[in-house]
Amino acid sequence: MPRKVPLEKTRNIGIMAHIDAGKTTTTERILFYTGRTHKMGEVHEGAAVMDWMEQEQERGITITSAATTASWNDHRINIIDTPGHVDFTVEVERSLRVLDGAIACFDSVAGVEPQSETVWRQADKYRVPRIAYVNKMDRTGADFYFSLRTMEERLGADGKTEGAGMAIPIQLPIGAEGDFTGIVDLVTMQAIVYKDDLGQDWSIEEIPADMVDAAKEAR
């Protein structure tokens, strides 16, 4: 029998972004880290769980919104992976109507892109709470602070634009590109350092000495 989870412990969370920002890959990682799957599905291999249509597997893009479920801390999380291509924007809007919250993925090299701006405005329309996730920090040209600035400039998330809110980091990256090794959690003021490429093995450590001042300022 399916496990019964009370409504107050159920969340409908959407993943939204510009095409190729890493929405589906992010969803695949969530499924893996929560134990829902035992192998990370790769979009470029046509093996992503969320890209179930033949056309999606062939093209490596998401065409329709797809839903799955994961469990974390006694909560059921219903995840909706939405398309990032401008031609399928209506799929995003259709999903936003049922969401409790959303994760907006941003490519750390490109920052806020046109379609990510569009879906952000759609989320504003339906008053969907969201968090921003700066992805691909290991790519050449990755720049967390550039991405943060584009949120302030292009989304108005600077604390001055009425109704737009403010982009407030709760984590800072340790390094970037080939030197990306983990994050500093500004809530606990601790560093989480990855020990392998899959992120399965990590350790909680003191904040690196050269980041202490930046972490205190950001907090």
Does the residue 4 lie in any domain? no
Residue 117 C-alpha from the chain's centroid: 15
Same domain, 79 and 121: yes
Per-residue pLDDT reduced to its tens digit, 6-59 = 889 999 999 888 888 888 888 888 888 888 877 765 554 545 565 555 655 555
Per-residue pLDDT reduced to its tens digit, 108-117 = 999 999 888 9
Identify the CATH number of the domain in which residue 92 sits: 3.40.50.300
Does the residue 14 lie in any domain? yes
Same domain, 180 and 156: no
Same domain, 217 and 128: no
Same domain, 64 and 14: yes
Helix residue ranges, H only, 60-113: 89-96
- Structural domains counted in the chain: 2
Same domain, 173 and 162: no
Same domain, 129 and 202: no
Which residues span the domain enclosing 97?
Answer: 9-166
Q: pTM here?
A: 0.81
* Best CA proximity match to 67, nearest among 10, 125, 9: 10
